[in-house]
Chains A and B, each alone.
Chain A
């Protein structure tokens, strides 16, 4: 299980960074989201995540750590807001330049 999770985190990071570095801005934004999902998965993996009983119950058994889950929930909500905002800005930028190529969006450079 640990091996599969670490493999998943690693491949998500790899895919995310590859997409982030592409010239198409939409793909690049998707890369950002994939990386934040990789981080969320990493947050899940840092806590004890394979508990068998509820952490609030008095039952005896292995419990999961609840705090990383709370962190992930917060991080998901924030990254959702951030992604929506990015897409809104991309929509305006792309409509102005009539292209999604990051190398063509150069008005600020001079």
Chain B
């Protein structure tokens, strides 16, 4: 396969966004064009995945033909191709949900183009091999996500977008400072080159450049804000609850993964000689996140907020398994990321569906309690999704949690293992409580499901994928194992 193909997952949605902007007078054409673009780009990602996994070699593309440490490179290795397939698959289902939803946001002519640029940003973050380009794509991602949230028909959408954008601007400042500091220390911004120089420096044992530790800390802070890990999580539930459903499903499932991806790259590649120190921190913030996220999700009275807090807990699991490290740790984190992206977007879409059926458009429990009597199909999907989120067989959540626990047993980390084990029980408690409230409590007189409402095709696709990945988990686990071995070689 030609190395130019690495460009496709970025260039297809980017040109697609331009064309969609031109189609703004024809809303129907614009929507179908967006869906088509996303599917074409997903096909390119899958082709990349199959090529990279079958040959076992990464594809590198030098933009403009400038040679590696000087030019900008795009690198598709096993980790990044798995990530981009995950991102683009979830984005396709998000677009399908938006097509069938009756949100106000959909009626803005810029909604679909911005949805495409969000895809570009996410894909770019995962494909880039250059820390400054990471910054550029992060910015694209942040502006798109904030703009999409500001379009929400929730009154406080703009406020949430403003809050998020402020926090992200701080992350941007950290990332830019990190770029400056790392350039000051090593005179290069290419990740592979940096990793080599840092390893050589660490092995020589003559001490690192003075600003190196600062750079590492700035990168770490950036990714902590991006992944909404424990002390930096405060913006996330507001932001995810106020966004339009199609968008909040994307935010909570794939946008936070850009930070987790950054942590994997930091500990295995960029700052590999200093991984033990970083991993220690990751384990601690991950474990705190699991507990805190679980209890906070239990304490909320709004379905979307509940799932946003649950994301905090699930991100905690990923951070803990990255912290435990090793090829198996990275493989467990990858499997967890993919499974969580699928199930969390499905659950948020189902909450949005309930909100669209409720008399007042809100996913707060007092509105949706008892709503489910006339919606049995959504109930089945919600039940399967809750099982996947809580990690019960035969859904995919079981496989991801099993890998994490197996890793913990292998490393004999009993304290952390017991903590996250107990905290993960909470998931079952709050999802099943919601299920019971919505589908088994007798409805009050005024609560009656409206006709119309959002379409259920997208959550159906996602839940079926969860089921398929739970029963036939082998391919995903194998690919993840390969990627886990890959990042350490």
Report which A residues bind B (CB closer than 8 A): 28, 32, 35-36, 39, 42-43, 46-47, 67-68, 71, 74-75, 78, 81-82, 85-86, 89-90, 92-93, 96, 105, 107-108
Contact = CB atoms under 8 A, between A and B. Distances in A.
Contacts of A67: 183, 189
A2 B155 CA distance: 50
Contacts of A35: 173
Interface string B288-311: 000000000000000000000000
A42 B177 contact: yes
B193 interface: no
A107 B156 contact: yes
B156 A86 contact: no
A49 to B, nearest CB: 12
A46 B150 contact: no
9 contacts: A32-B169, A36-B172, A39-B177, A46-B180, A74-B132, A82-B172, A85-B143, A86-B165, A108-B159
A53 B146 CA distance: 43
Contacts of B169: 32, 36, 82, 86
A43 B143 contact: no
Nearest to B140: A78
A108 B155 CA distance: 9
A93 B180 contact: no
Contacts of B163: 108
A86 B173 contact: no
Q: Is the interface of A mostly helix, strand, loop or mixed?
A: helix
A107 B174 CA distance: 29
Interface of B is mostly: helix
Interface size classification for chain B: 20 to 34
A82 B165 contact: yes
B166 interface: yes
A78 B180 contact: no
B160 interface: yes
A86 B184 contact: no
Nearest to B162: A89
Contact of B183 (A68, A85, A105, A107): A68
Contact of B136 (A43, A47, A74, A93): A74
Interface in B38-88: none
Interface in B158-211: 158-163, 165-166, 169, 172-173, 176-177, 179-181, 183-184, 189
